Amino acid sequence: MSLLIAAKGFTLGLSMIIPIGAQNAMILNQGINKNHHLAAAGLCALYDIILIAIGVMGGSVILNSSDIMFTLLSWGGILFLLTYGAISYKNAIEAPNQATEQLITSKPFKLVVMTSLIVTFLNPHAYIDTMMILGSVGGQYEGNAKLYFMLGAMLASVVWFFSLAAGAAKLSKQLKKVKVKRVIDFMIALIMWIIAASLFQSWVSRMM
């Protein structure tokens, strides 16, 4: 029974983080450039673990019960995702040619840490996924069952982020090609905008 609950947490956790989001986009880019990609994966996983724990242990009740908080998170997420999508779209349009691509330097570790903090804690959509959705489902369990669900959801973040970072690094040569990178940036922009639209729809549904 405990393994089944953990599996539910793991499955729901994966469903929340597999769709391309700001964290995934950052880790994907770090992996393609082989630039502190495993550290970036570890940091994002750690942040998710913290947010999931807060959500499951009761934080989701506060967020879900407040229309004002829901509105702030929703519109913050919409603006963040629209902006991040616009940046990805700009990168796709202005993709470097093969010659200038070789001049791109790696980001220092401090900048990678700062970026990971921004795409997590300044991204309201991260709170909606981890604290509100996973927290609400996990909060329905009691005792050890709650713990197993929470651990399953946390494990999903660890497995996904490290798999994404390692996979991007392994396929770096193919993914670094200008045409491929342009397609990736276009896809990231499109998905960011789709998620923003879904957040807006959710906000409208709740407010009506």
pLDDT in tens, 136-169: 888 888 889 999 999 999 999 999 999 999 999 9
Taking every pair of Cα atoms in the chain, the longest distance, rounded to a whole number of angstroms, is 58
Instruction: Report, as an integer, the average pLDDT of 174-198.
Output: 86
Spell out the domain ranges in the chain: 2-207
pLDDT digits (tens, 9 = 90+) for 32-82: 989 999 999 999 999 999 999 988 887 766 666 777 877 888 888 888 889
* Average pLDDT along the chain: 86
Tell me, what's the pLDDT at 114? 93
pTM of the model: 0.82
Residue 202's contacts (CB-CB under 8 Å, 6 or more residues apart) are: 74
